[in-house]
Structure 1
């Protein structure tokens, strides 16, 4: 295969629509634009959402709520994931290095999913009531500060 022999796949390219070339073409005279009106004119367009001067829908409806930029950076960690870690003293940096949470995570919270069979200490990581009970039952502790 040479660069000068490469061709597009069969049927992938279609000829440009030639308008204004007579009645027989089906796109003669008005060129498929119909008669009169703004859309038939050269340069005739209006911005998206324009309703002819009527107050547009996006301005008639009230503004509501907001999207939190930090919500996606709060991560939930399962107890079973903590059980697999080789260290006993766990903080956010340890979780990042182990690949349990993404590198851009701002905070983490341990949830009761799975079991933990050894003593661990959480530092600076939140935990749900159930997870806290399971960690303390295994002899571990949670230091939130």
Structure 2
């Protein structure tokens, strides 16, 4: 016999009846509606913060603040790898932060440009940047290029 849509019904116990509170003492949840007498959880919304520890100073306020932050004076450099320079520039070309910005190799100048040594380089280039990693400097100079630190 095929199953018809009108024969479908939930299984026994899968649909629980809603708790009807405050409907007389005979219901079992009358008067205080299952909240007991007085106290914080019996009143209003009865919400207690996750960090509340019954009036004891909570752990967030007990733990000491520690460490040092240099946030207002932190320097953020735009990073360019030597493999990127290899890809976008020809031999003996002069590279400055403004040219990198113009060619959209970097999105923003920030506090300057730092050249890192990821990848290989085969062309001699004249690179002017605010910072160079040791490996980047070695790789650029090994192929006959020049590095110049600008401020």
- TM-score normalized with structure 2 length: 0.64
- Map of 1:12 onto structure 2: none
- Map of 2:131 onto structure 1: 126
Mapping 1:90-101, distance limit 5 Å: 90-101=95-106
Aligned length: 126
Tell me, yes or no, if structure 1 residue 60 matches structure 2 residue 65. Answer: no
Q: Residue 73 of structure 1 contacts residue 104 of structure 1 at CA under 8 Å; is this kept in 2?
A: no
Q: Larger Rg: 1 or 2?
A: 2
Deviation at 1:90, TM superposition (A): 1.6
Mapping 1:12-23, distance limit 5 Å: 20=21, 22=23
CA distance, structure 2, for counterparts of residue 95 and residue 59 of structure 1: 47
Q: Give RMSD over aligned pairs.
A: 3.3
| Structure 1 residue ranges without an equivalent (≥5) | 1-16
Mapping 1:42-53, distance limit 5 Å: 42-47=44-49, 49-53=51-55
| Structure 2 residue ranges without an equivalent (≥5) | 1-17
Most deviating of 61-70 and 124-133: 61-70
- Map of 1:102 onto structure 2: 107
- Map of 1:9 onto structure 2: none
CA distance, structure 2, for counterparts of residue 73 and residue 90 of structure 1: 20
- TM-score normalized with structure 1 length: 0.66
Deviation at 1:82, TM superposition (A): 0.8
Most deviating of 128-137 and 89-98: 89-98
